[in-house]
Structure 1
Amino acid sequence: MLNSNTTNAEDLRIYQIIDANLDRAREGLRVLEDWARFGLGKEKYVKRIKNFRQILGRNHLEIYKQSRNLIADKCKGLNHREQINRNTSEKIISSNSGRVQEALRVIEEFSRLHNHELSKIASEIRYEIYTIEIDLLSLSKRKNSEEILRENDLYVITDQKDNLLEIIEEILIAGVRIIQYRFKTGTDKDNLQEAIKIKNLCKRYDSLFIINDRIDIALASNADGIHLGQDDLDLITARKLLGFSKIIGISANNESDISNALKDGCDYIGIGPVFETATKKGKKPIGIEKIKTLTKDLDTPWFAIGGIKSNNISYLRRNGFQKVALVSQLMNSEDPKEEAIMILKELSHEN
């Protein structure tokens, strides 16, 4: 309960501090709430954050508001150059989460003697915001990854090459936004080091970096996601290990595999092989018509894979295939950048 027996200058200054920080905390919470609502569409977080705003509003006592102009604030309107660097949703989330956390800490300290109930409330909400910040950042990262999957039609899978980093940068420059790092030989140490370098390249070009099969390498390199085959670790276990900020793709070639992948919450599906391919020797192609049947009601992003080259993409497009995954066509190209540009134009119907 507020102890307001005295109204000396020190009390007024404390009331001003509490008033200013209640405003800051509620403003920051509103930013987080609106992002959860409009940016992410996550009702659960909207309700939680709105509830915090209402609790602080109920405890924003009149005596705090009345103290606002009794002692002049000579530092009003001060800004910092870092404010102009908040140019992504992630930076806005982090800065406003920090704003709320700092404001609540100030309230907690300065209301301890005057209003123990408010001090306790500030402490409880502050610890909740630590978790909410991480959740909102993870959800934002996942949303960005999902948008890249939906908006981009070319998915490139790497092969092991001495100049792999050069090839990847060339195709990233060309406009490719999805790279899967696939390796079958070499030591874990070397593969992880290469994965980290590719991840840094993809980050520079705002592209997705996905690891084939290996969850440990995906976690250690901070990949954006992982691609799993039918004989790899199951999707539910992979999600538990990776968390919900990462995307998970699944290879499938029949109705049952696709149904299970969707039920377990995959983010995209690789369907094939469409044609015969040296990458999957001995695996029988499932063909155009079968894939059309499998995908006719499929809303989740899917990529046709297996034997796809620049000279058969137009044929796939005529049959309604929108997204394709390539391996050898770009990995073995003498000019991977130009090759990638031509394939992207073919996929977008540009001439």
Structure 2
Amino acid sequence: PAQAERQQPSQVVAANAGRAQEALRVLEEFGRAGDPLLAAEAAAIRYALYDLEVDLMRACGAAAGRRELLLRCHLYLITSPSPRLLETVAAALEAGVRLVQYRAKQADDLERWQEARALRQLCSSHGALFIVNDRVDLALAVEADGVHLGQGDLPPAEARRLLGPDRLIGRSTQRIEQLRQAVADGCDYVGVGPINATPTKPGREPVGLAYVREAAAESPIPFFAIGGLDAGAVAPVVAAGGRRVAVVRAIIEASDPHAASRELLAALQEEA
């Protein structure tokens, strides 16, 4: 039945790219035990396939391509200032992260533009979506895939007018009424949280897993649980109905961001 529902080229590409990537992942994991060369070749081909998928998706249509890729993203990396920012994001991308948001509240515009441009190029080389926090102008300047808006930022309708129909718009939400409004405003995804207290959002009261359950029951668009989450916190989120998580410190502050990313991805895959 699922095959009959795929009426668009982009849907066929996404489904079969996913099959090929999973097959290569199996070869990679089996190869680690007794054939390191096979494991390395499978990994290299899998990463190259991500780039091919992006090219094919863009050929099928930019908007459709971005939204198809978004649906397949279960781990969302949000950056915070770090002297090892590019190195850390590169390690996460190499581990399989395919959705990155650039968030820098305190930097000046020139520094933001330089970092965002470098990260955009890095994400493009790995076939990952690149989102800019708050700043529609910066997103346009570096040709980002979209923008993420807080409740106090530009209204989504105005952001859509500036960005056009092809780019993604995300929205932070803390309760179900805000999620409903984000859907009505035409947002492509929402953040749900903070699930736990986090220094990233000082003074923000955590919403716990109850809101995750509400979002799982009602949201017609992808939602990412966020707030003090790491690999050990994935299981309760999934049990509450969440299939996607967003993290900051769990990867940005990890001593080994590649391993931390792989652990998070494995936890999400295992629980799903």
Per the TM superposition, whether the score is higher than 0.5 is: yes
Q: Aligned letter for 1:38?
A: Q
Render the CA deviation track for 1:152-177: whole Å, top value 9, x for unaligned: 21001001011100000000000000
Q: Distance in 1 between matches of 2:267 and 2:74?
A: 10
TM-score (normalised: structure 1): 0.61
Q: Which residue of the partner structure matches residue 210 of structure 1? A: 131
Aligned with 1:39 (options 6, 9, 22): 9
Q: What are the equivalent positions in structure 2 for 1:227-242 lying under 5 Å apart?
A: 227-242=148-163
Q: Which residue of the partner structure matches residue 321 of structure 1? A: 242
Q: Distance in 2 between matches of 1:260 and 1:338?
A: 37
TM-score (normalised: structure 2): 0.78
3-state DSSP of counterpart to 1:250: strand
Given that 2:77 and 2:248 are in contact with CA atoms closer than 8 Å, whether structure 1 keeps it comes out as: yes
Note if 1:280 corresponds to 2:250: no
Q: Aligned letter for 1:340?
A: S
Q: Relative contact order (alpha carbons < 8 A, sep ≥ 6): 1 or 2 greater?
A: 2
Q: Aligned letter for 2:154?
A: L
Sequence identity (%)? 36
Q: CA deviation at 1:256?
A: 2.1
Q: Distance in 1 between matches of 2:93 and 2:137?
A: 25
Q: Distance in 2 between matches of 1:319 and 1:90?
A: 32
Render the CA deviation track for 1:88-143: whole Å, top value 9, x for unaligned: 4478x6xxxxxxxxxxxxxxxxxxxxxxxxxxxxxxxxxxxxxxxxxxx7xx1121
3-state DSSP of counterpart to 1:231: coil
In the alignment, structure 1 segments of 5+ residues that lack a partner are 1-36, 42-84, 94-136
RMSD: 2.1
Q: What are the equivalent positions in structure 2 for 1:84-99 lying under 5 Å apart?
A: 88-89=55-56
Report the structure number with the largest CA radius of gyration: 1
Aligned with 2:67 (options 146, 157, 162): 146
Q: Which residue of the partner structure matches residue 110 of structure 2? A: 189
Change (3 A) 1:237 1:163: same
Q: Distance in 2 between matches of 1:287 and 1:342?
A: 23
Render the CA deviation track for 1:213-245: whole Å, top value 9, x for unaligned: 011110101000000000000000000000011
Q: Aligned letter for 2:8?
A: F
Aligned with 2:225 (options 304, 324, 338): 304
Aligned with 2:76 (options 145, 155, 178): 155
Given that 2:57 and 2:65 are in contact with CA atoms closer than 8 Å, whether structure 1 keeps it comes out as: no
Given that 2:197 and 2:205 are in contact with CA atoms closer than 8 Å, whether structure 1 keeps it comes out as: yes
Aligned residues: 225
Q: Distance in 2 between matches of 1:333 and 1:225?
A: 26
Aligned with 2:143 (options 222, 230, 252): 222
Q: CA deviation at 1:272?
A: 0.5
Q: CA deviation at 1:320?
A: 2.0
3-state DSSP of counterpart to 1:227: strand
Aligned with 2:173 (options 252, 277, 284): 252
